[in-house]
Structure 1
Amino acid sequence: MTHGVTINDVAREAGVSISTVSRIINGTAFVADDKRRAVETAMQRLGFQPNYLARTLITGRSMTVGVIAEDIVSPFYADVIRGVEHALLDTPYQPVLNSGHWSTQYETRAIDTLIYRKVDALLLLGSTLGDDTLRDVAGRVPLILFGRRVPGLESHCLTLDQRGAALNATRHLIELGHRRIVHLHGPPGQQDAQERRAGYRDALTGNGLPLHPELELQGDFLEQSAAQALTHLLDARVPFTAVFAGNDQMAAGARLALHRRGLRVPDDVSLIGFDDLPASAFTIPPLTTVRQPTYQIGQALARHALHVLAGEPSSLPDFDLTLILRESTRPLR
């Protein structure tokens, strides 16, 4: 990097005014594409690096968007984050990532850290915090929520019909003749997990089938929890013919538990997941699951944040959840 290069040098090299260079660096106004390219080329050639701390002090903006997921290494959240990142690529804003780790303590710390670092907006991908706390956060920084609907913040909340999608997935198994269906559900208190569990129960009661508490197994949306829970059920010799897992990762754990007992999917046990992670189409057999458009969701959240920061009207779109039929389910024989 060349030291001592100033904004004046960049303007002279690009053949534009100093104010044009400033607008491009700060993202404060529209600049024609040819001028933007000339300035970016000049900055690269001269090795100019903007002083972002000084810019933050002057403009009151850091040009960053905080993103907190329950777990940023989760395949589900990773694809949402990929959508956020791509939506911000050609803008002055950069994402800053952190994890909440399914913990109110760690999520609160992550929020406080990002606000302290002056992020301009905050995206929460799921949250363990109460509604009052989230409303308080929204009073400190523009807040966009995915997977939570908070009274008073509805216009900045993106939620999907998790309950209806879970009902459809369970009903598919019932239509195939299954009556004793295991449900591996997510963490207690997690909104998506609660709604999917409710949808599972809706499908059973709506088809005149009894609820069996012993078939509702606690998981944490990770593979190991599902493998352990289903192994314990198999050890107890509780009969079942199908499994509806609360997400694809738990479906993978369930598949492992069945495999270790010599049970084949779908010949012996039908299996459905939720999310349609990229790898789910390539398991053996390919997994029947509910598709969530994770990448498009991430893009929509980021674009909404950009509109909010620009003071422009914006609404979050609705997304459909689709049951994707593959080879992991079959009629009961």
Structure 2
Amino acid sequence: MSEIQSPAAPPPTLEDVAALAGVSTSTVSRFLSGAVPVSEPRSKRIQAAIDALQFTPNLLAQSLKKGRAMTIGVIAHNMTSQYFSTILTHIEHALGEAGYALLIVTGHWSETIEAQRIALLTARRVDGIILLEGRLPDEQILHHARKTPIVVTGRQLVGEQVYGFKLDHRAGALLAVEHLLQQGHRRIAYIDGPPGHGDATARLSGYQQALAQYGVPFDPDLVACGNFQQADGHAATTRLLSQGRAFTALFAANDESAFGARLALFEQGFRVPDDISVVGFDDIPGAAFTTPPLTTVRQPLAEIGAAAANAMLGLLSKRPIAIDIPPFGLQVRRSTKLCLAS
């Protein structure tokens, strides 16, 4: 005869947690939602009860009660990029603490695809959309935000359901090129970002401004497009070298392009920094582990991710949004040195 199986114990409920913690069910609800502060002693008792009972909140019930999906859509342009993955990690952490999950899609640096992804996320009824380095014009973002709140990085934009913020990328590039000029370099190649991209345009402006401040003529023949990607940075640097462009230093619009440039220089027999100094932009995690470690402009990626998440929470709760992000800084490592040729 087969054994008679005893029925499984019912899962613990909100009432069970409240009884064990010695508080009301409404206090437990406030603790779980995070919408209203709960005193520290009560919070500790509630968390201890949750752990002891192995209680799991009913997210579906919570979302139905709040009228929200508790999901935020995020559009990034390159899922393999350490730049985007670092920002996404901090968005997920900040929104996760507020009870939200992420639905991440890729824009592939295309306005058309970006618009399609916004429509897709809106159809999935996400509570809001975070657009990292959006390519769409302001008017279109404002139009889409009529249906779903949108936070966008890389531009200043404010509306009823829109918040955008950006950093001074011109000033960041100025730091990088000034560092090379102070080391005596005068022939400085530049690997640009995607044409028309706001950050890339600002960084090119910083590069040109630094040259002008030191009385160095701008040479367009030393500029090549790298599209913020390793392969394009490699191709752009190879193209400059094959055209016989002489330079003692190279500034790349992002670290990914600098990685590609570094490989192209190695393939052509140039040593970094003995023959050519290299500076990147972003200070992504891998920048400290190249050979040699990359000098780069540190972009506050963790703070950008947290700021995007907090701006979204502000839009959803209709509270004032205050963004405080530290400025760019130069992280000097071992890929640059004094220019002996000067």
TM-score by length of 1: 0.88
Q: Secondary structure at the match of 1:273?
A: strand
Residue 36 (structure 2) pairs with residue 29 (structure 1): yes
Match of 1:232 in 2: 239
Question: Could you tell me how far apart the structure 2 residues matched to 1:174 and 1:139 are?
Answer: 48
Match of 1:212 in 2: 219
Q: CA deviation at 1:152?
A: 4.9
Task: Please tell me whether the aligned partners of residues 33 and 98 of structure 2 are also in contact (alpha carbons under 8 angstroms).
Answer: no
Which blocks of at least 5 consecutive residues in structure 2 are unaligned? 1-7
Q: 2:104 aligns with which of 97, 103, 107?
A: 97
Identity %: 42
Which deviates more from structure 2 when the two are superposed, residues 19-28 or residues 301-310?
19-28
Residue 196 (structure 2) pairs with residue 189 (structure 1): yes
Match of 1:312 in 2: 319
Task: Please tell me whether the aligned partners of residues 189 and 223 of structure 2 are also in contact (alpha carbons under 8 angstroms).
Answer: yes
Q: Secondary structure at the match of 1:323?
A: strand
Match of 2:288 in 1: 281
Match of 1:66 in 2: 73
Q: CA deviation at 1:5?
A: 6.2
Task: Please tell me whether the aligned partners of residues 163 and 199 of structure 1 are also in contact (alpha carbons under 8 angstroms).
Answer: yes
* Aligned residue type for 2:134: S
Which deviates more from structure 2 when the two are superposed, residues 214-223 or residues 296-305?
296-305
CA separation of 1:151 and 1:120: change in aligned 2, threshold 3 A: closer
> What does 1:131-280 align with in structure 2 at a 5 Å threshold?
131-150=138-157, 152=159, 156-280=163-287
Q: What is the total number of aligned residue pairs between the two structures?
A: 333
* Aligned residue type for 1:268: D
Question: Could you tell me how far apart the structure 2 residues matched to 1:120 and 1:38 are?
Answer: 31
Q: CA deviation at 1:179?
A: 2.0
* Aligned residue type for 2:105: N
Q: CA deviation at 1:12?
A: 5.2
Q: CA deviation at 1:271?
A: 0.7
* Aligned residue type for 2:306: Q
Q: CA deviation at 1:44?
A: 6.2
Task: Please tell me whether the aligned partners of residues 2 and 47 of structure 1 are also in contact (alpha carbons under 8 angstroms).
Answer: no
Task: Please tell me whether the aligned partners of residues 179 and 209 of structure 1 are also in contact (alpha carbons under 8 angstroms).
Answer: yes
Which deviates more from structure 2 when the two are superposed, residues 259-268 or residues 90-99?
90-99
Q: Secondary structure at the match of 1:78?
A: helix
Deviation string for 1:254-285 (max 9, x for gaps)? 01000011100111111110011122122222
Which deviates more from structure 2 when the two are superposed, residues 127-136 or residues 273-282?
273-282
Deviation string for 1:48-83 (max 9, x for gaps)? 655544443332122233222222331011111222
Deviation string for 1:121-145 (max 9, x for gaps)? 3222110111101112332223222
Match of 1:326 in 2: 333
Which deviates more from structure 2 when the two are superposed, residues 161-170 or residues 7-16?
7-16
* Aligned residue type for 1:134: I
Task: Please tell me whether the aligned partners of residues 223 and 250 of structure 1 are also in contact (alpha carbons under 8 angstroms).
Answer: yes
* Aligned residue type for 2:82: P
Q: Secondary structure at the match of 2:79?
A: coil
